[in-house]
Structure 1
Amino acid sequence: LNLQLDPGRPDALMELVEMPDGREFTFYHMATLDGMVKRIETFTRNRAPTKNFAMHKVIETFEGHEQRLNYRSITFEPIDPNTDAPQVKLQIEHPRKMTHKFDRNPEVEADKDLRKRTFFTGLRPPKIHLVFHYGQDRITAATRTYTTEKTINGDNFIMSEYVVDPFAKPMKFTEQRDEYIKLIGEEKAAISDFRDADREAQKILETRENDEKHPQLVKSLYVQLQDKKQFEANKPKEEDADAALKYDYLASYLPKRSKKTALTKQEAQAVKDACLKALKERLIDRAHIIETRLEEEQAALTKRQLGYHRQDKEKSSDDDEYEKYVHEAQFKIQILKQRRDRHEEIAKQKFKEMIERLQSDPRLSILNQ
């Protein structure tokens, strides 16, 4: 099976190749979270539909990984083809070997910049082998190997290394211990990462199988937006009563029990006063904003005029610029004055309309008695 897919899928899958002895996933790596380019799964035998397949090795490659990771692999213990293979998740818990490879970090010395890290978890005793990048004009690279030893008091380690720089300071025991503890944690994290990657791969396979059984048309984002716009346009307009339920101009002033019982005369008067007060404050605030802007423009114009008149007329060459500024400033001042006058008229009209609305509101009808 060779399945090729266009961009836009949530799993960023570009191509899926299934063979009797393995599978190969290719991704649009720019659309993946970790920059995965390819995942290659290799089996130890041809798969039988009635039996679990035995995983031999998984290789994953990356581009643009945040930790400069470019390669990751996990190798499993060989299994007799004539026996039933354990589940993959059980194989991942006890791998034979795990390897990580990293790109060069120019900000770190080559002898300290890790190039390859291998966990030999299937060996007895287990080992962790580190290989660092090649330094400039060097044909050998520094290496370091940690061997875990089981003792009565718990796990212990022995470190052996190959140092390229003869003048490099040897690692202290505390530094070795800290690095060893860190590597043990990274080993557990690597198993967890492979477990998550296998879960994602299985999810992709399930999605592909479901797509074949139940094909559905997936609309593009543009089509979805157009459909939504058309749906909103076709919605029936709400009645005034429904709109009134959504917005009640007295809601913030009414007592909580007003929905169940009628207001007393004192409560109705308090609601009316609070509503008119809030409207008055809003109108005054708006008028204050307009007046402040008007005063600022007038002050700026006056300042510019005083500065211009103090200049030496014979040496001044800013007449055109000054006239342009004065013209624009006077235009702004005129507009602001018109807004101020218009706001005064609108404010009076709004206040009058609110009084009439309150008088006709049935909830405040007790004030008309």
Structure 2
Amino acid sequence: LERRHETVLELTDYFVNRDDFLEYRKAVFEPRPKKFGPADKDTQRPIISITERYDRNLTLSANDDVRELLYAIKENKFIITYHRDSHHITPSTRTFCKPASWNDKAFTIQWNEDLQDTYQADEEFKQMSKRDLYYKMIKLIEQEEEVIKRVRKAEDETRDLQSRRQQEELSSDLEISVYDIDRNDKSKIYRKLLQQKADEEKRKKEIHDVDYLAPFLAAIGNPVRINVQQAQQLRVAAQRDFKDRSIRKANLMQARFESEIQELISKQQWYQKHQIGMSKEDELEYQRLCQEAQFRLHILEERLKRHKELATEKYMQLENKLNDDSRLKEPYTIR
């Protein structure tokens, strides 16, 4: 089975690579009459016809190779269409009509010529005997029962799939959209983090936008214009302020570094005095404290090293900013 297509009045199965060369089976159903009241327990749809189509079997002659077999259930007929030979325009066909009371188990089917009609595309083809035609019709009646069972089984499979699908949909837990901020807690947290990040960026931008010469201009009264001496004074003041701040920060880091070293030395001296009488737990605690102290020393050392590297880089940036600042050049217009 390759695929299955079902509508209200049709059910079609498509097949590939079958040994019997069956390509597809199509069942046509009769519409159910609308009824008022409780629904019937029997939900099967009445079948009007079932059509089976077969691919070419090259081991048989075209006149013996069935192309289409129509089980006209409502009309009590079997219509067989054979493959068309390349030498003929039309294919051969054969129609069987079920006799009256054919489904009565106590009834014995009697053959007569009215039960079948044959069209031979070529008169030279061998005609089937009455005996062969009789057994052919009996075989078709048996096949029809099996084909109806297959159609009903296909219906049941489809109903089962639909039922399981409905159960899955009813039992499924719907995910709340990330855009539904009223019900999605993760979305609320995410939006809060985004807002915090935006506020932080705004604060940094405000700090960045502050005029770096503002405190030095305020010291000389915020003049509209300055002279060359004042321009040089502003330049020197900005450079000195940067150096002082860098040195203060470096001194703080150095003092913290030296304090950590002294504390580590004190711990080591204490350990040397009390090593003999220490328990295993005390030794482990001492080792843990030493490891933490060494970690802090490493971090402080790296920060101090990084500060010195950045201080040189930032000082060069300040020099470039001072050189490019139009206020420190003629005509020395501040505002």
Specify the TM-score bucket, using the shorter chain as the normaliser. 0.3 to 0.5
Q: Give me the TM-score of the superposition, normalised by structure 1.
A: 0.41
More helix by share: 2
Higher relative contact order (CA 8 A, sep 6+): 2
| TM-score for the superposition, normalised by structure 2 | 0.45
